[in-house]
Structure 1
Amino acid sequence: MKRPRFVIGDVENSLMLDMQESRKQTNLNDYFEFIGGGDKVEVVCQDMWSTYRSVTRKQFPNAVTVIDKYHVQRTANAAVELVRKAHFIRISNQDRIRLKRKKGLLLARWDKASDKLKDDLEKLFVEFPNLRAVYEWKERFYDIYECETRAAAEKAMTEWMLNLPPEFERPFKQSRDAVKNWRPHILRYFEHRYTSAYIERLNGLIRKMNVQGAGYDFSTLRAKALLKHGRVDREVEGQKLTNRLARTLPAGPRLVPIYGPWRYYGMPLSTLEADLEAGLL
C-alpha cells in the first residue's frame, strides 16, 4: 500500500503473529507495552531498521538482537548489480539488453550452481572480467555465514573488510556500512542461529492477497491474513485487542478486535499460501 508496515512473527515456529499499519517508534512502543511480557523474550531477529533496535532495547530488555542474515547478504547482491549496470554506458544497445537478462544469473551461489549455470557464468566473465571479480567478492561475503563459530566468522569478516579492493569499496558500501554499524548484532547469529526469512516470504503473500482483493484497506487485509487460519486456544484467557491501543495509532482504528477466552498463536504460511493459490482469500 505504498509505505512500509510492521510485521511480527514467531521465528522458532515460522508463524505470522501480527501486522500493524505503522512501524514508527512511538506506535511500536505503545503496541508492545499493551501486549506486555517483553521481559520474557530471549531473542529478537530483525532487519537493519534502526527504530527496531531502539524499540528492542526498551521493550525486550533481556533479549539478544540478531540481524537477519538474508538482509545482510543481499547487500552484496546490490554491489554486483551496481557493477553490472556500470557496463551499460560502455556497450552497445544489443549487448545492454543481453546483459540486463543476466541479473538473475549473477545471484546464483557458485557452490550450489548447476554445471550449466557455471558454464553460463564463465562465458559472461570472459566477456566482462570485472563482473568475475565483483562476483567473487560477493561470494566471499556470503561465505562468512558458512563459518561454524562466531570467532571464525569474526575473522572472516575482518579479512573481507581489510582486503576488499579499493575499486569495489563504493559498490560494496551497503555491505561495509552494515558491518560497521551492526557488527556485534550480525555476529550474534553464530550464537543464536535464527533468521526471519519467512517474514520476507510472508510479505510477498500479503502483497499477492492484496492484489487478488483488488486493493483491500489495511484492516481487512490484516483480518484476512491473521484470522483466516489463526491457531487459537479456548482454555487460555487471551488478551482483548480493542480500540484502546488503536487510539494510539495515527488516522483512526487499526486493530481487529479478538474477544473472549481466546489466545491467538499465529498462522502457518503454508496454509495461507494454499488458500491464495485456491483463490479462497
Structure 2
Amino acid sequence: MTDLRAYFDGILDRHRVEVVCQDMWTGYRSLTKAMFPRAVTVIDKYHVQRTANYGMEVVRRALYQSLSNKDRVKLKRKRALFLARKGGETVAAQEALASVFAAHPAMQTAYDIKERYYDIYASESWAQAEAAADRWLSSVPVEFEKPFKTSIDALRNWRPHILRYFEHRYTSGYVERLNGLIRKMDRNGAGYSYEVLRAKALLKHGSATLRKADGSIPFELMGPDDEDMEIGDVWVWSGSPISTLEADLDGDAF
C-alpha cells in the first residue's frame, strides 16, 4: 500500500482523474479515494462476474465429493462447460450439459444462478441493472445462498460502485492482461527480476517524451536533447503495446 501511495503521488495532474476502476478491496478504495478525490470508483465487471463462477465451482465440488467413483467419472472434465456462457456451446456441449442436469438438478440450478448474475451486465442503464440485481438477489434459493455468498455480498456491499459501470463503462481488462503477461515473462525469464524484464522491454520498444514542468509536452520535440530541457523538465518513458510484448513472449524474445 505504501508503494502504491508513493506511485500515485508521483502522477502528474492526478487531480484531473475522473474514473478509477478497481476490484472489491476496501484498501484500494480508501487509497484511490484519498489520491484521486475527484474520481468516481467503478468496480471492474470481470471481478464481479467471476464471483458467480466461484459459486458454481463450490456447488460442483460439493456434488463431486458426494458421488461414488463411478459417477465421478461422468463429471470429469466438465468444469469448463459449467463456467462457459450459455448460448455459445456446441451441440455436443449442450447435450453433455443436459445429461448432467438431468442426473443432478442442483447443477442446473447453480448454472442458472450463475447465468442470471452475468446477465445483469446485459442491462443498458443503471436503473435496468439495479432492477436486474434485485431480481437476482430475490431469486437465489436459500440452500444456494452459501455457495453464492461472495456474489451476494458484492451486490450488497459494493452496489453503487458496481452499478456506476453503467454510467462509466470502463474495465481493468487491460491491466489484468498486462499482469498475465508479466507473470508469463517471469516464468520465461529464467530468474530475471521484474525490473530487468521491464528495462529490456523499454530498451527494445519504449519511447521517451519530454514533459515540461507544467505538465505540457513541447511541440515537435523529436528526441532527448539536453539543449531543449529546462529546470523542472522530466523525461517520461512510455511502455510498449501489449500486442508487441505478447509477440515477443510467444517468440521467446525475453
Question: For the superposition of Structure 1 and Structure 2, which TM-score range results when normalised by the shorter chain?
Answer: 0.7 to 0.9
Match among 73, 81, 96 for residue 49 of structure 2: 73
> d(CA) in 2 for partners of 1:47 and 1:229?
30
> d(CA) in 2 for partners of 1:189 and 1:223?
35
Residue 211 (structure 2) aligns with: 236
> d(CA) in 1 for partners of 2:252 and 2:137?
48
* 3-state SS of paired residue (2:179): helix
Match among 234, 243, 249 for residue 270 of structure 1: 243
| Distance change (3 Å), C-alpha of 1:99 and 1:220 | same
Match among 128, 133, 136 for residue 160 of structure 1: 136
Alignment: residue pair count: 236
Residue 60 (structure 1) aligns with: 36
1:190-201 alignment, distance < 5 Å: 190-201=166-177
1:127-176 deviations in whole A, cap 9, x for unaligned?
A: 22110011001000000000001100001101111221101100001101
Match among 85, 103, 121 for residue 109 of structure 1: 85
> d(CA) in 2 for partners of 1:130 and 1:91?
13
Match among 141, 166, 179 for residue 155 of structure 2: 179
| Distance change (3 Å), C-alpha of 1:110 and 1:193 | same
* 3-state SS of paired residue (1:101): coil
> d(CA) in 2 for partners of 1:110 and 1:143?
10
Match among 22, 41, 46 for residue 17 of structure 2: 41
**Amino-acid identity (%):** 55
> d(CA) in 1 for partners of 2:26 and 2:196?
29
Q: Provide TM-score, normalisation by structure 2.
A: 0.86
> d(CA) in 2 for partners of 1:271 and 1:105?
32
Mind listing any 5+ residue stretches in structure 1 that lack a counterpart?
A: 1-23, 240-259
| Distance change (3 Å), C-alpha of 1:150 and 1:225 | farther
| Distance change (3 Å), C-alpha of 1:70 and 1:227 | farther
Mind listing any 5+ residue stretches in structure 2 that lack a counterpart?
A: 215-232
Give the partner amino acid of 1:41. V
Give the partner amino acid of 1:236. R
| Distance change (3 Å), C-alpha of 1:266 and 1:96 | same
**What is the Cα deviation at residue 108 of structure 1?**
1.0
> d(CA) in 2 for partners of 1:164 and 1:86?
18
Match among 180, 191, 194 for residue 204 of structure 1: 180
> d(CA) in 2 for partners of 1:238 and 1:103?
54
Q: Contact conserved, 1:72 with 1:178, CA < 8 A, in 2?
A: yes
How much is the aligned-residue C-alpha RMSD, in angstroms?
A: 2.0
Task: Please say which of residues 44-53 and 219-228 is displaced more in the overlay.
Answer: 219-228
Give the partner amino acid of 1:274. A
Q: Provide TM-score, normalisation by structure 1.
A: 0.78
| Distance change (3 Å), C-alpha of 1:195 and 1:165 | same
> d(CA) in 1 for partners of 2:28 and 2:234?
31
* 3-state SS of paired residue (2:20): strand
> d(CA) in 2 for partners of 1:198 and 1:99?
34
Q: Contact conserved, 1:80 with 1:138, CA < 8 A, in 2?
A: yes
| Distance change (3 Å), C-alpha of 1:179 and 1:224 | farther
> d(CA) in 1 for partners of 2:128 and 2:239?
36
